[in-house]
Amino acid sequence: MSSSLFSAQLHPGRALGFLVLGASLHDVLTRIKAEPQRFPKIELYFQSTAPVTKEVIVGLPANGLRLQFDGPEQRLRLIEVINFTKNHIFFKPANDKERDLVRPPSSSPTTDSTPEPTFRHIYQRFLGPTYGGEFVKQAGDAGLYILSYPGVGFVFPMKASEYSPQKDVVALLSSSAVPKSMAIFSDLRPLSKGKDVCPDEVSLVKIHGGGKVQLFRKWTNNSFWIHFGETTPQQIVAELGPPDAIYRKNDQRMYIHKLRSASNTAGRPNGKDLKQHDDMTDTDQSSLNPSDGYESNEEEAVEDEVANVAGECFYNYFYLGFDILVSTPTEPSEPPPSSSNKPTPEPPFRSTNPHRQVATKLILHGNVPGSYPFNRHRRCRWEIAYLGKGDDEDTEDQVPNSETPFPELEEKLKEEWKSIYASEGEAQQKQRGMVLNRGWGDSPGSSIEMLGGWEEPGAGMGKKFEGSEESTTTLYGYPGLVFEVLRSGAVSAVTVF
């Protein structure tokens, strides 16, 4: 048992070992999955009807840990230790010796017979005295007393009849009281604005239509524009760093895969739709799971590739949440009808060389829990800027975005684009959904047990998600956009061109 014991230093308000508040779900799961002996069981809890708005919880039952992430950003917000016998937690105050929350079971033959922390130990030795805690009433006479320190709290069971706001904490809790859990949280706002969060990461992608997107850096107003058909791979690498992998579009495996996905597609596309179909299924081809060993094969080649790109390929940015297609120039999509009111910058210069390599497409990944490609990429948030009301900052939160349920998004897109179609019939024909089944092979999240359908985090933790993941998605196309939509209405990916 002690060999697999999770041992970690407590940093109140910041971290528990390598689990750092503000880290992305993708990053945390990728690290945890890389150590199956230390973390033998991974459970993922999410609400299957609201997978990107409600919190997502990672349960590590063999380690006595539970990690809570928010839905829209998928950032670690709360670390809970729910079984103290399955881990070894220590604290190192500045200018003092390291202290154990509980002695590891193997090395405590004498003193404390209980392998669990007591109130006395926490209050007198581990963290020291603190101010009065908070009482939370539960059903009947049950309740919880939360002993708080900045950035860390201990939850003790306490009957409502035993609690009195007049009594201080020492009078309320017996010295041998054992907490049922410990929580580590950030007491800074905003929560994730920590040193450990990479400041250069892209936090939002604004889609302007007409082949223009704007990538915003976290914590700043700085942005970087990509003009499809103009922005070069060198400019991309200068702004975003080298990609995590480069995926050749004309790879043999991809070709086989393409045939399979085409044969699984419902309906009989005509010639024109076939071209569209090729655009639509790019999310499939854009990347393989890094755990397929693909990433490591490519890594060394990246520098060379960047300098000497030949043929169509995807730049995979798994840790930023998107892929960029680099190819010879294609015509960018037409500007949205309403965009004449909202001018956007033009590319600094236009090249006329038809053989040059440029960015022609961007695939933004939603990393939706329960979806087939879950945990291949970090979640990337986006908004469709041209569907906003104007430049007024106050309306910013109404701009349709990555959390908007697709039916709502669809309504606004139909309204925006209706003038380009000759008739309603034509609009319906062009905009109809197309079913895609990607249930082949192992999904990137295959070693994670998916447990959708809970209502309240912590309470019973819900039932198993039907099937390990959702392999059927529906594709919807608009000028310059293809959405990949799950049954819940959550958008799992959007391709912009």
Q: Which residues bind ligand NAG (CB under 6 A)?
A: 83, 85-86, 220-221
**Minimum distance from residue 392 beta carbon to ligand NAG (Å):** 12
- Taking the least distance from each CB to ligand NAG, the nearer of 193 and 418 is 193
Exposure of 5 by Cβ count < 10 A (0-12 exposed, 13-18 middle, 19+ buried)? middle
How far is CA 26 from each of CA 218, 441, 444, rounded to the nearest angstrom?
17, 20, 11
- Taking the least distance from each CB to ligand NAG, the nearer of 83 and 265 is 83
H and E: helices and strands count for the chain: 11, 26
Alpha carbon of residue 182 to chain centroid = 25
Closest C-alpha among 178, 16, 135, 22 to residue 81? 16
- Taking the least distance from each CB to ligand NAG, the nearer of 221 and 423 is 221
Distance CA 231, CA 362 (A): 12
Neighbours of 476 (CB within 10 A): 20
**Minimum distance from residue 489 beta carbon to ligand NAG (Å):** 32
The DSSP annotation for 169-186 comes to HHHHS-TT---SEEEEE-
Q: Which residues contact 15 (CB under 8 A, 6 or more apart)?
A: 9, 21, 79, 184, 196
**Minimum distance from residue 437 beta carbon to ligand NAG (Å):** 40
Alpha carbon of residue 150 to chain centroid = 27
- Taking the least distance from each CB to ligand NAG, the nearer of 83 and 276 is 83
- Taking the least distance from each CB to ligand NAG, the nearer of 194 and 337 is 194
- Taking the least distance from each CB to ligand NAG, the nearer of 221 and 341 is 221
**Minimum distance from residue 34 beta carbon to ligand NAG (Å):** 24
Closest C-alpha among 182, 56, 36 to residue 457? 56
**Minimum distance from residue 60 beta carbon to ligand NAG (Å):** 12
- Taking the least distance from each CB to ligand NAG, the nearer of 121 and 438 is 121
**Minimum distance from residue 307 beta carbon to ligand NAG (Å):** 34
Maximum CA extent, the chain: 85
Distance CA 330, CA 328 (A): 7
**Minimum distance from residue 85 beta carbon to ligand NAG (Å):** 5
**Minimum distance from residue 235 beta carbon to ligand NAG (Å):** 23
* Contact between 63 and 73 (Cβ < 8 Å): no
How far is CA 162 from each of CA 139, 419, 471, rounded to the nearest angstrom?
15, 69, 52
- Taking the least distance from each CB to ligand NAG, the nearer of 9 and 220 is 220
- Taking the least distance from each CB to ligand NAG, the nearer of 86 and 379 is 86
Reading across the β-sheet that carries 56-60, which strands appear in turn?
Answer: 134-137, 143-149, 152-157, 181-185, 76-81, 65-69, 56-60, 43-46, 449-452
- Taking the least distance from each CB to ligand NAG, the nearer of 41 and 418 is 41
- Taking the least distance from each CB to ligand NAG, the nearer of 102 and 173 is 102
Closest C-alpha among 486, 492, 484 to residue 280? 484
Distance CA 230, CA 224 (A): 13
**Minimum distance from residue 116 beta carbon to ligand NAG (Å):** 9
**Minimum distance from residue 220 beta carbon to ligand NAG (Å):** 5
Query: Which residue shows structure tokens 């976290």?
Result: 218
Distance CA 276, CA 482 (A): 10
**Minimum distance from residue 180 beta carbon to ligand NAG (Å):** 7
